[in-house]
């Protein structure tokens, strides 16, 4: 057992406070629990009457010597709760300080100073408490700044996701204009059928008014009537076949764009009319 002479205790306390906080708990050797607690903590379990508190103290001491500072601090706190010995708060403070747990270290040191008014080296311990509070405040400010940055980043991410979803929905929505094309083509086809029917009716009337030799009734203008019938037939063919091609194109376009296609995949349609009639073609890829 290390004898606690005033000279030795003063030297050990001075060495403990001269070590920077940032350097403790690292790879460098640290004093064992008995040496580290000389400044005001409990150094031996013989001062504890409670058996369970003594067990926690022994475990805490072993953890501290192994460098398991947080676990050691928790065990010192358990011993304090069971025994009520204020010195154990100093032990927990030292362990939390080694673990760089500023908040818990400050809480333990503050409790120790409140319960031990005549604590050894109180002036230095009070200064250490103020320093811990300053570190905690700086950590809080950094955390708030980080929280603000994270919140802004989350808002930007959510906004970007909403915009991307809106674009996907717009791209996935069926196109309306192919159906307009289909409607125009269907209307032209119907008009072509009507005009074609009129042309057939005119041709049938001419056959009734003229014989096979081309001799017609005096009031019949054969050439004019024949030209009109031929014109209506051409217009009817154009509307019928052209409208049909446009309607089919619109139908295929609706299928292409409804399945997520692009304008590059759209089919191509064309209509050509000659003196012998009208012809339509349509081509594309699926």
The string of pLDDT tens digits covering residues 75-88 is 999 999 998 888 89
- 106-136 residues labelled b (16+ CB within 10 A) or e (exposed): bbbbbbbbeebeebebeeebeebbeebeebe
Chain position carrying tokens 């700086």: 138
The pLDDT tens digits for 161-172 are 888 888 887 776
Is residue 230's pLDDT more than 90? no
Domains of the chain: 6-141 (1.25.40.10), 177-283 (no CATH)
Residues 6+ apart with CB under 8 A from 121: 13, 17, 39, 40
pLDDT value of residue 14: 34
- Range from 20-34, 57-71, 213-227 that averages highest in pLDDT: 57-71
pTM above 0.85, yes or no: no
Q: Stretch 238-247: mean pLDDT, rounded?
A: 81
pLDDT value of residue 188: 84
Asked whether 126 and 93 are in contact (CB, 8 A), the reply is no
pLDDT value of residue 115: 92
Q: Quote the radius of gyration of the chain (alpha carbons, Å).
A: 49
pLDDT value of residue 213: 62
pLDDT value of residue 208: 67
Q: Determine the Cα–Cα distance for residues 98 and 92; give it in Å rounded to an integer.
A: 10
Q: Stretch 115-127: mean pLDDT, rounded?
A: 90
Task: Give the chain's mean pLDDT.
Answer: 76
Is residue 147's pLDDT more than 70? yes
pLDDT band of residue 238 (cuts 50, 70, 90) is: confident
pLDDT value of residue 283: 63
* More confident site: 20 or 94: 94
Q: Stretch 144-152: mean pLDDT, rounded?
A: 80
**C-alpha separations of 214 from 91, 129, 219 in Å:** 129, 125, 14
């Amino acid at each position: 057992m290390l004898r606690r002479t005033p000279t030795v205790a003063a030297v050990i306390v001075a060495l403990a406070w001269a070590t920077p906080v940032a350097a403790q708990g690292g790879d460098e050797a640290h004093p064992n629990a008995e040496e580290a607690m000389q400044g005001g903590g409990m150094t031996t379990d013989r001062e504890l009457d409670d058996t369970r508190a003594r067990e926690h103290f022994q475990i805490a001491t072993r953890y501290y010597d192994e460098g398991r500072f947080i676990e050691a601090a928790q065990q010192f706190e358990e011993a304090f709760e069971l025994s009520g010995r204020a010195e154990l708060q100093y032990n927990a403070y030292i362990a939390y300080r080694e673990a760089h747990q500023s908040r818990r270290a400050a809480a333990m040191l503050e409790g120790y100073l409140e319960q031990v008014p005549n604590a050894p080296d109180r002036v230095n311990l009070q200064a250490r408490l103020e320093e811990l509070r300053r570190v905690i405040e700086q950590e809080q400010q950094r955390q708030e700044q980080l929280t603000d940055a994270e919140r802004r980043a989350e808002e930007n991410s959510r906004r970007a996701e909403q915009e991307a979803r809106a674009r996907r929905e717009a791209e996935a929505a069926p196109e309306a204009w192919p159906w307009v094309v289909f409607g125009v083509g269907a209307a032209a086809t119907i008009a072509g059928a009507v005009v074609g029917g009129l042309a057939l009716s005119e041709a049938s009337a001419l056959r009734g008014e003229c014989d096979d030799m081309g001799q017609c009734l005096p009031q019949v203008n054969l050439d004019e009537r024949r030209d009109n019938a031929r014109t209506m037939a051409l217009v009817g063919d154009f509307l019928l076949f052209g409208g049909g091609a446009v309607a089919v194109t619109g139908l295929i376009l609706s299928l292409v764009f409804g399945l997520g296609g692009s304008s590059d995949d759209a089919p191509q349609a064309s209509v050509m009319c000659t003196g012998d009639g009208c012809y339509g073609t349509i081509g594309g890829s699926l």
